[in-house]
Amino acid sequence: MLLDEDVLIDAGTGVGDLSLTELSLIDRVFVTHAHLDHIASIPFLVDSVGGMRDKPLVVHALQATLDALHDHIFNWKIWPDFAQIPSRESPYLRYEAIEVGRKVVVGGRGITPMPAHHVVPAVGFQLDSGDASLVFTGDTTVCDDLWDVVNRIPSLRYLIVETAFCNRERDLAIASKHLCPSMLADELRKLKSRPEIFVTHLKPGEIELTMREIEAAAGAYNPRMLLNNQVFEF
């Protein structure tokens, strides 16, 4: 997700849809967790536009996620360590650790890491414009701590929540710490406000089935599928 023109929330393959000029304007990437579908474009992003910028790209993530990026991606084996290129004093890439519940303010916008429960350390994010908020859960399974925080946001306008598997794959959803439609319905019952709800992380080949099952299980909450190029104003 692109926040205005300068902040990315995660950096999967969809980043490749942006032009070189658009890529060069991105100053920060807030990463939910270290899985490939959420970090795949960071190496190409910094490689493509690092020399076009006058300051490093800052990656914000849990320390465990930053360690994974450094140890397994930017390690000179998979990809160069751009935290040292072109020099340690003036690198193309910089890391900044975040903590659950500690807001980062970027140009007047509040970005707050939220609890998530996944197979690796993970967070969601609350994006707060000052007038209203959007919550992106990232990858998570059942997580009471998440909903406790969500229910304390008075200005919540949008909720983007994952549902990675259809109901027949519930056991796989549980094992991999994702949600399926029946689990999503149980989670939404914990919600005390009525934001607009959008579903993401649907598996290709199962999108229509999963959305039908979501409608059957959680239709009272009017969840809709998140679309490419969708714009949220808040």
Q: Which of 37, 50, 35 is nearest to 94 (CA)?
A: 50
* pLDDT tens figures, 75-95: 999 999 999 999 999 999 999
* pLDDT tens figures, 23-48: 999 999 999 999 999 999 999 999 99
Q: Name the percent of the chain lying above pLDDT 70.
A: 100
pLDDT computed for residue 162 by the predictor: 98
* pLDDT tens figures, 115-169: 999 999 999 999 999 999 999 999 999 999 999 999 999 999 999 999 999 999 9
Q: Name the percent of the chain lying above pLDDT 90.
A: 100
Model confidence at 216, in pLDDT bands (50, 70, 90)? very high
Model confidence at 104, in pLDDT bands (50, 70, 90)? very high
Measured CA to CA, the distance from residue 213 to residue 209 in angstroms comes to: 6
pLDDT computed for residue 224 by the predictor: 98
Measured CA to CA, the distance from residue 70 to residue 134 in angstroms comes to: 29
Q: Do domains 1-98 and 102-226 have the same CATH topology?
A: yes
Measured CA to CA, the distance from residue 85 to residue 93 in angstroms comes to: 8
Which CATH number is correct for 1-98, 3.30.40.230, 3.40.710.10, 3.60.15.10, 3.90.1150.10? 3.60.15.10
Q: Per-domain residue ranges for the chain?
A: 1-98, 102-226
Mean per-residue pLDDT of the chain: 97
pLDDT computed for residue 191 by the predictor: 97
CATH architecture of the domain 102-226 equals 4-Layer Sandwich (3.60)
The answer to whether 209 and 163 have CB atoms below 8 angstroms apart is no
Its pTM stands at: 0.96
- 3-state secondary structure string across the chain: CEECCCEEECCCHHHHHCCHHHHHCCCEEECCCCCHHHHCCHHHHHHHHHHHCCCCEEEEECHHHHHHHHHHCCCCCCCCCCCCCCCCCCCCEEEEECCCCCCEEECCEEEEEEECCCCCCCEEEEEECCCCEEEECCCCCCCHHHHHHHCCCCCEEEEEEECCCCHHHHHHHHHCCCCCHHHHHHHHCCCCCCCEEEEECCCCCCHHHHHHHHHHHHHHHCCEECCCCCCCCC
pLDDT computed for residue 26 by the predictor: 98
pLDDT computed for residue 88 by the predictor: 93
